[in-house]
């Protein structure tokens, strides 16, 4: 069979995939944050000096929920672009950048490794830029949906770097000193 799917079939496929990818990515982001303890109430984090560019804490939950939803839509667009050149590479890059994204919270919040988290973000920025470019080539709307996420990740990289500059002694595991009786 060499039949091409009708526009309504393509829309239905996109909607079905979106029903999986959007909540799936939002859930993964939420779980990464919960496991890492990435809240403003985290004792280690709340003790850090924050830069003037640091937004109000409630901003992060709102922004990340929207960005994860947009990421899910972009992924659904890529998955349903059957036969498009570069589709497999775009999806592969998407998966790699998502893994890096999900790794940042545990490295920063759970392991208290500010410099290692900055390294994760720098690699994420590069992989994400490649993802945006490849997604744009496959489906321009998919690439466009990822642009705000790239901008936010670049901002997060700046914040991470500023926090490291302001708190050089906080970079590393929390050491609890105990006395020997």
Task: Note the pLDDT tens digit of each residue in 128-172.
Answer: 999 999 999 999 999 999 999 999 999 999 999 999 999 999 998
User: Average pLDDT of 2-19?
Assistant: 77
Q: What is the pLDDT of residue 172?
A: 82
**Reported confidence tier of residue 1, pLDDT bands at 50, 70, 90:** very low
Q: What is the pLDDT of residue 177?
A: 53
DSSP for 32-70, written as a single string: HHHHHT-STT-HHHHTSPPPTTPPPTHHHHHHHHHHHHH
Query: What residues contact residue 146 under an 8 Å CB cut-off, 6+ apart?
Result: 70, 71, 74, 128, 131, 132, 135
**Is the Cα torsion angle 98, 75, 27, 129 positive or negative in sign?**
positive
CA distance 92 to 99: 11
Detail the DSSP E strand segments found in the chain: none
User: Average pLDDT of 82-87?
Assistant: 90
Take residue 142 and report the two structure tokens written for it.
């998919």
């Amino acid at each position: 069979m060499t039949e091409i799917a009708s526009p309504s079939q393509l829309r239905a496929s996109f909607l079905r995939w979106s029903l999986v990818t959007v909540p799936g990515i939002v859930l993964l982001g939420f779980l990464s944050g919960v496991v890492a303890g990435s809240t403003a109430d985290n004792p280690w984090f709340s003790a850090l000096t924050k830069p003037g560019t640091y937004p109000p804490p409630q901003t992060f939950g709102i922004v990340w929920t929207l960005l994860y939803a947009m990421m899910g839509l972009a992924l659904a667009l890529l998955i349903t672009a059957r036969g498009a050149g570069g589709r497999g590479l775009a999806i592969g890059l998407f998966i790699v950048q998502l893994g890096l994204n999900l790794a940042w919270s545990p490295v920063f919040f759970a392991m208290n490794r500010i410099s290692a988290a900055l390294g994760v973000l720098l690699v994420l920025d590069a992989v994400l830029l490649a993802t945006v470019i490849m997604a744009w080539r496959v489906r321009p709307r998919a690439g466009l949906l990822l642009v705000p996420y790239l901008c936010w990740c670049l901002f997060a990289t700046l914040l991470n770097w500023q926090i490291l500059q302001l708190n050089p002694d906080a970079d590393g595991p929390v050491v609890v000193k105990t006395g020997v009786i």
